[in-house]
Amino acid sequence: MARKKNSSAEVTGPRIRAAAQELFARHGYAAVSMRQIAAEVGVQAGALYLYTPDKQSLLFDMMRDHLAELLDTHAALPECADPMAALEQFTRFHIRFHNARSDSVFIAYMELRNLERANFTRIEAMRRSYEARLQEVLERGRAAGVFDVPDTKLAAFALIAMLTGVNTWFRETGRLSLSHVEDIYWDMVRKSVGG
Amino acid sequence: MARKKNSSAEVTGPRIRAAAQELFARHGYAAVSMRQIAAEVGVQAGALYLYTPDKQSLLFDMMRDHLAELLDTHAALPECADPMAALEQFTRFHIRFHNARSDSVFIAYMELRNLERANFTRIEAMRRSYEARLQEVLERGRAAGVFDVPDTKLAAFALIAMLTGVNTWFRETGRLSLSHVEDIYWDMVRKSVGG
DNA sequence: GTCTATACCGCGATAGAC
DNA sequence: GTCTATCGCGGTATAGAC
């Protein structure tokens, strides 16, 4: 146990990241100023530079952390020997994980253009790695004769786009619960791969 | 026949809109300056205001024109009495239309946040109107007992997200032709609605 | 660790000459 | 119809006091 801290040090950094995330999601990276972020946190603009080298790092770090958590959380799921069970697990996991982090997801998809080249390359690699995991499930199912999929790469793209789309319209207060939505989407996913 | 024009009048306006569209698609509305647009066209920044009242109108007009063309072109397609034929027609139309206008599509999805409220409302109404047309096809198919779809509204959202996703990865120079891609997606769409 | 003050730049938009 | 010049503002980022 080290000495008691005055709170500000450990608290301000996360608060800045949270404010930046919310503002980037709502207005877009390019439209948000460092002054706005500072005002949200209750500090002066200059003070932000004690916690981040620049605005670009704020964006890159939140995208990297989001994708790292996505990959880690997915990797921690129980193994499914049955391809059909694995596909259902992926479908439900994807919807739930993304719905619970709509700001991060929105930023990760919309702000790719605003990453500097080197940062973009790293983020893209993480995204492709996630897509590859779905593709592997489809590949296994096809090899086992359970799925009828002409092109597993395209099918993975198509399914991920479909599932991520839930984020654009789903609201907790709407007529359907998330688990009901999961059921409906899983029904479509299952049928679409000929299962 | 009116008097011969000096070319600049009729030509500069469209060139400005084209340059704005390309730059907005590439860098995002908020990140593009009027000076950049002017430089692309080869005029001074001040000259843009002879052709548009402001930057916001540049964005709104291109989104409105894009969606108007989408609705008009779709409405001009031949009627399909058979719901299955109608769904195939929608699928192939959507992929082809959107692939041919990737800049406009990108802007119409990514820059909604940058529309002023009144403009946003008008654009949203047009987008919903397009979604409703797919929903009607699904409704007809379900009524005829051809489709097995638990919720036609969700299915319409899911299918449009899936089809629009083609734009994020398809390249003319890739391993698959667009008509091959259409075939693969139509196969998934058809199966997903239980046809 | 946060502040004020500020450097330096580029923004959208307008005015008025030509 | 396009130009130059400019207004007023706000951008990112830094310097130096406390």
For A91, the domain range is 56-192
In the chain, the amino acid numbered A78 is P
Q: Is A158 in contact with B162 (Cβ distance < 8 A)?
A: yes
Does pLDDT of B127 surpass 90?
yes
**Number of domains within chain A:** 2
- pLDDT in the model for residue B195: 72
Looking at beta carbons, which residues of chain A come within 8 Å of B184? Answer: 150-151, 154-155
Residues B15 and B92 in one domain: no
* CATH code assigned at B20: 1.10.10.60
- Nearest CA-CA distance, residue A162 and chain B, Å: 4
Does pLDDT of A2 surpass 50?
no
Per-position DSSP letters for A44-76, written without gaps between them: -GGGGGGT-S-HHHHHHHHHHHHHHHHHHHHHT
Residues A43 and A66 in one domain: no
Could you report the per-residue pLDDT of B132-163, keeping only the tens digit for each? Answer: 999 999 999 999 999 999 999 999 999 999 99
Does pLDDT of A85 surpass 80?
yes
Residues A62 and A144 in one domain: yes
Q: Which residue of A has its CA nearest to B160?
A: A162
Residues B42 and B108 in one domain: no
Give, in order, the Cα–Cα distances in Å from A61 to each of A14, A21, A51, A54, B18.
Answer: 12, 10, 12, 11, 34
Residues A64 and A47 in one domain: no
Residues A48 and A73 in one domain: no
Looking at beta carbons, which residues of chain B come within 8 Å of A192? Answer: 188-189, 191-192
Which residue ranges have CB below 7 A from strand D? A 32-36, 45-46, 49, 54-56; B 6, 8-9, 12, 42-47, 50
Residues B99 and B173 in one domain: yes
Residues B46 and B87 in one domain: no
Residues B4 and B83 in one domain: no
- pLDDT in the model for residue A10: 76
Our CA angle for B28, B34, B36, nearest 5°, is: 75
Q: Is the model more confident about B3 or about A133?
A: A133
Mean pLDDT for all residues in chain A: 94
* CATH code assigned at A61: 1.10.357.10
Q: Is the model more confident about A4 or about A147?
A: A147
Residues A147 and A91 in one domain: yes
